[in-house]
Amino acid sequence: MEHAADGILLTDKGPGETSYGVVKKIKTLFRRSNPVKVGHAGTLDPFATGLLIILLGQGTKLSQFIMSAEKVYLATVELGVETDTLDPTGKVLRTSYVSDLRPEYIRDRVDRFVGKIRQIPPAYSAIRYKGTRAYKLARRGQSVDLKAREVTVYSLHILAVDLPQITMRIRCSSGTYIRSLAADFGRDLGPGGHLRSLRRLKSGPFDVEDALPSSEITDKAREGLLSARVLSIRDALPDMGEIVINAALAEKVRHGYQPVWEELIVGLKRQAGIPSGVNDGWIKLVSNNKLVAIMKVNSEDEVSRVKAKIERVFFA
């Protein structure tokens, strides 16, 4: 039976499922032949739906690079009801009357939530607080004093106003809590509120429209159904620049060799200019159309002073 290539699988998580539940189903299917390591890049709460990127085999080494990408969400805020979890699964803490807020007024208030903002993560979150996941402490009734952190909201567009509900599209940095954003927005408007529904539309270059519905991943599904949709580890980072190296250097890198920048310049000269992403960021080393390694590159004024270090190695 065909085994999935190392890489990533785009799934569309349904409501009520946990992210781990999707991972478990996929792991079970591959266990029928050759077991494969499975993870995911960014948890979605059970009530939320949308793009969940599954990491397979060596694709699990890509977690930090994929999770750091910006996200796009479709979110609905319900005004007048505040919950302890900031979402529909929590205990209602307070209800308020929702006045007839004008759509123009609501849209005017959006601007203060765009750009670099500070937000306090939800008490019911996976952030560690004094060595324990915050949500575990919160469930025990213990106080969780999480510190505000800076995130970036690149855009926030109001799509519909049907009070007490407001639907919006949000493009934001990794680490942004939409639950906190919804609760803060509700308080800013007056009556308070919570995140009624959430759907992740995009993560970096990947779109939920290209994802496999998690409902199609069942015990009766064939492993080949998943294998055919796996993106290779090279294609999993389409926005990252790359350098083509020869087979001999690739073999050395896979055995722990750290190439100096001069060796990579030779490869650059055989390509059409310096690839995007090479300066002050991550760069892929590719050989024979396969990802060999990911390097951290810190460039200074002169090319001869560029510093590069292998951070992840991938085996053929």
Among the three residues 191, 214, 232, which one is the final residue of a domain in this structure? 232
**Cα–Cα nearest to 231, from 207, 251, 249, 255:** 207
Residue 179 is assigned to a structural domain of this protein: yes
**Cα–Cα nearest to 21, from 38, 4, 37:** 38
Pair 153, 174: CB distance under 8 Å: no
Is the domain of 165 the same as that of 284?
Answer: no
pLDDT of 302 higher than 70: no
Residue 221 is assigned to a structural domain of this protein: yes
Q: Look at residue 164 in the predicted model and tell me its pLDDT.
A: 97
Is the domain of 134 the same as that of 47?
Answer: no
Single-letter residue type at 125: S
Is the domain of 183 the same as that of 262?
Answer: no
Single-letter residue type at 289: N
Among the three residues 155, 187, 203, which one is the final residue of a domain in this structure? 203
**Cα–Cα nearest to 54, from 46, 43, 65, 69:** 43
CATH number of the structural domain spanning residue 309: 2.30.130.10
Three-state DSSP at 28 gives helix
pLDDT digit string, tens, across residues 242-278:
888 999 999 999 999 998 877 787 655 544 445 555 6
| Share above pLDDT 70 across residues of the chain, in percent, rounded to a whole number | 89
Is the domain of 266 the same as that of 173?
Answer: no
CATH number of the structural domain spanning residue 136: 3.30.2350.10
Number of domains within the chain: 3
> What does the chain come to in residues?
316
Of 136 and 67, which is predicted with more confidence? Answer: 67
Burial of 178 (0-12, 13-18, 19+ CB in 10 A): buried
Is the domain of 11 the same as that of 114?
Answer: no
Is the domain of 63 the same as that of 212?
Answer: yes
Residue 237 is assigned to a structural domain of this protein: no
pLDDT of 122 higher than 80: yes
| Mean pLDDT, the chain, integer | 87
pLDDT digit string, tens, across residues 218-252:
876 666 777 788 999 999 999 898 888 999 999 99
Which of 12, 45, 87, 184 is flagged as catalytic? 45
Is the domain of 309 the same as that of 268?
Answer: yes
Is the domain of 198 the same as that of 75?
Answer: yes
Is the domain of 55 the same as that of 162?
Answer: no
From CA 137, how far away is CA 254, in angstroms rounded? 43
Q: How confident is the model at residue 50 (pLDDT cuts 50, 70, 90)?
A: very high
pLDDT of 292 higher than 60: yes
Domain interval for residue 253: 242-313
Catalytic annotation on 6?
A: no
pLDDT digit string, tens, across residues 176-211:
999 999 999 999 999 999 999 999 999 999 999 999
The predicted model gives 130-148 an average pLDDT of 79
Is the domain of 118 the same as that of 149?
Answer: yes
